[in-house]
Structure 1
Amino acid sequence: MGVVGVACVLNLIEGGLKARSLNLVPQCVILDYCGCKNHWDNNGIQTDINCKKLFEILQVDENM
């Protein structure tokens, strides 16, 4: 079993530490830029992820 977290840096740190406490080894994909209401912007900003990095971690052919 594995965990791939996709989030802003602050959420990945918190989630990664929680996963480690459960003896899981998380992999992370950091958002291209941060904009969540909790940490970065009062209104929230739509963000994006690096799909190539996610597919690399999942070992999926991105051309599928």
Structure 2
Amino acid sequence: MADAIGVSGYQVIQDWRKRGRVPPAHCKVIEQLTGERSELLNGDVDWAFYRKTGAVVDSEAAPV
């Protein structure tokens, strides 16, 4: 999974699991790979806005 989403290693993903959320910039790819909705990966982001507008989430400070 780490290679597929372009992160440095398994430890990064384990840190996300520990925190209980995935950084917004990685949610779309993980959703495409696994089918797990972005809302479940990171509930702090207004995913309906991104789906409606087609805007790109490219930072960890995505608007909510």
TM-score, scaled relative to structure 2: 0.27
Which of the two has greater strand per residue?
Answer: 1
Larger Rg: 1
